[in-house]
Chain A
Amino acid sequence: MILALNTTVFALPPTVSVEEYDYEAEQQVLNEQPYIPMESLDFNDNDYAIENKKAYDLGKSIQQRDFSRLGIFSIISPQSYRFLAVTHYYQDDSEWASDIMQPAGYSIADGGCALTSFAMISSYLGDYHTPRTMNIALGNKACPFLRDSAASQFGYTILNSLSAPSNSTAVTTSIGCIALGRPVFICLRKGTTSNYHWVVAYGYNDNSVMILDPEGDWDYSNLSTYLNNGWNVRYLNTFSA
């Protein structure tokens, strides 16, 4: 029985566009997958915390199509593509674009990318907030967005927190997190400027990390579009409900 659960052969990479993808089927598969529990620490590994190492290793295995390192008893059935059913909200949606966030007083359209990205993840985790209702819920902690405070307010735990990872580590870890069923909250920084932007990574196909960009004017669908144009990952993390 254990063997049957763990030796699922990954599918060859089909090319699936986001529009064609069957989100309901994905959600069903996701619901059937066991939650990956925290495991003990690896005292020999000084480079990555074990859960990040696991996400990183999983991402690397998916990128290289080599699952030998995961072991046949891994409870994960890695695939070369996966898309999580995350709702795409735009900060400049006319329904809430002009709503003002406190305490800074910016509109959601002007400064709501972090809040909108968090609303997407919150919806995925079952709290079904739009940027408008998220803004109301966070009140005077909406802008500047306070990641830890927002997570606490919704009872989420921050996981897989990486600070200023290299681009390749960010991509690989994101793929691993998505394979584990966790959309990734990504803070991007343009070079060494104070220009920041937030997006949600929700899928991968081959080695590409697919994102939901809250900025409708840009609406990039691939993380590499940012990374190849002078943006770096300032931090990333996932949330668990």
Chain B
Amino acid sequence: MKRVLILASLCVLILSGCNFKNQNCQTSDVISSINTNSSSSQLGTPIPINGFSLEDLKLQICVPSDIKFQDPNIDFDMPEHYSVMSGDPTFDLGAYMKAKLYGNYTYVCALTVENTIAAMELPVIFLQGFNLEDIENKRAVIMVGQRQLSMEELSAYEVYRDEAAVVYNFSSLVMTESFDDYIEIHKASTTYDYSWTKDVYHYFQNHIQEIIKRK
């Protein structure tokens, strides 16, 4: 009996040890635990924090109704010429995304219709939001790909801020080539005219600061 108990205790110890080793803590959980434990915050290692999509943060993109895009390639009315999409860690956008964003994010795509069966998504802007309380932590850092961005650097990418959240336009870090090059990556037809997608690209890049709203 004694031997069984000892064996059982050993098993429990081994299992809990392995479980701890195998544990994948959400970085936001780590941040939360730091916030409640001031002594830990004195310790140094920076912690990359997860971003959020606009939807996660209860934000939305409101394009004024008088803004219209026109795809000259089709002779029917498309209900949508762009799509606001939420990306998450399960996404791999391949050649469209030269640097990885950590956590969720929002990207807007122009919808091209080369084959009429279905629309293809051409990304034109990458946005990522953060809770202000997360980034106020001294150890918190925001990363795009392998690059760690300081708060000073981040200000150049800021497109929205309110009392709870901040949103950055990370397109220039994620889309490291010109938009023309992205069209080349995307190109699925030699006869389809892609030039209209530049209107979508320029609109969102130039007006994003005005069109992010709280729901």
Query: Which A residues are within 8 Å of any B CB, using their own CB?
Result: 2-3, 38-41, 43, 46, 48-52, 71-73, 103-106, 111-114, 140-141, 143-149, 157-165, 187, 189, 192-196, 198, 234
CB pair B111 A146 closer than 8 Å:
yes
Closest A residue by C-beta to B146: A46
CB pair B15 A2 closer than 8 Å:
yes
Min CB–CB distance B178 → chain A (angstroms): 19
CB pair A51 B89 closer than 8 Å:
yes
Query: Which B residues are within 8 Å of any A CB, using their own CB?
Result: 11, 15, 18-19, 22, 24-27, 48, 50, 74, 76-80, 83, 85, 87-96, 100, 102-103, 109, 111, 113-121, 143, 145-146, 188-189, 191-192
Give the distance in Å from the alpha carbon of A114 to the alpha carbon of B189 in the complex: 19
Q: In the complex where A41-B50, A195-B115 touch, is A160 in contact with B24 (Cβ < 8 A)?
A: no
CB pair A149 B24 closer than 8 Å:
no
Q: In the complex where A2-B19, A104-B116, A144-B117 touch, is A149 in contact with B88 (Cβ < 8 A)?
A: no
CB pair A198 B25 closer than 8 Å:
no
Residues of B contacting A160 in the complex (Cβ-Cβ under 8 angstroms): 90-91
Give the distance in Å from the alpha carbon of A95 to the alpha carbon of B27 in the complex: 52
Give the distance in Å from the alpha carbon of A148 to the alpha carbon of B121 in the complex: 9
Q: In the complex where A40-B25, A43-B102, A104-B116 touch, is A147 in contact with B92 (Cβ < 8 A)?
A: no
Give the distance in Å from the alpha carbon of A95 to the alpha carbon of B102 in the complex: 46
Residues of A contacting B111 in the complex (Cβ-Cβ under 8 angstroms): 144, 146
Residues of B contacting A141 in the complex (Cβ-Cβ under 8 angstroms): 79-80
CB pair A114 B114 closer than 8 Å:
no
A-B contact list, 24 entries, CB within 8 Å:
A3-B11, A40-B24, A40-B50, A41-B48, A43-B48, A46-B100, A50-B90, A73-B18, A103-B79, A104-B74, A113-B117, A114-B117, A144-B78, A144-B118, A145-B117, A145-B118, A145-B119, A149-B80, A149-B83, A158-B85, A158-B91, A194-B115, A194-B188, A196-B118
Partner pick for A144 among B26, B102, B116, CB 8 A cutoff: B116
Q: In the complex where A43-B102, A43-B143 touch, is A146 in contact with B90 (Cβ < 8 A)?
A: no
CB pair B118 A146 closer than 8 Å:
yes
CB pair A196 B117 closer than 8 Å:
yes
Min CB–CB distance A194 → chain B (angstroms): 4
Closest A residue by C-beta to B117: A111
CB pair B90 A52 closer than 8 Å:
yes
Give the distance in Å from the alpha carbon of A113 to the alpha carbon of B96 in the complex: 25
Q: In the complex where A146-B83, A164-B95 touch, is A103 in contact with B77 (Cβ < 8 A)?
A: yes
Partner pick for B24 among A39, A143, A159, A196, CB 8 A cutoff: A39
CB pair B116 A106 closer than 8 Å:
yes
Residues of B contacting A104 in the complex (Cβ-Cβ under 8 angstroms): 74, 76, 116
Partner pick for B100 among A49, A162, A198, CB 8 A cutoff: A49
Give the distance in Å from the alpha carbon of A181 to the alpha carbon of B188 in the complex: 32
Q: In the complex where A103-B77, A161-B90 touch, is A3 in contact with B15 (Cβ < 8 A)?
A: yes
Residues of A contacting B91 in the complex (Cβ-Cβ under 8 angstroms): 49, 52, 158, 160-162
Give the distance in Å from the alpha carbon of A48 to the alpha carbon of B85 in the complex: 19
Closest A residue by C-beta to B95: A164
Min CB–CB distance B23 → chain A (angstroms): 9
Give the distance in Å from the alpha carbon of A152 to the alpha carbon of B83 in the complex: 11
Closest B residue by C-beta to A187: B118
Closest B residue by C-beta to A51: B90
Give me 5 other A-B pairs in contact (C-beta within 8 A), A73-B22, A162-B92 excluded. Answer: A38-B90, A49-B88, A51-B89, A146-B79, A194-B192
Give the distance in Å from the alpha carbon of A38 to the alpha carbon of B89 in the complex: 8
CB pair A48 B118 closer than 8 Å:
no
Min CB–CB distance A76 → chain B (angstroms): 13
CB pair A146 B92 closer than 8 Å:
no
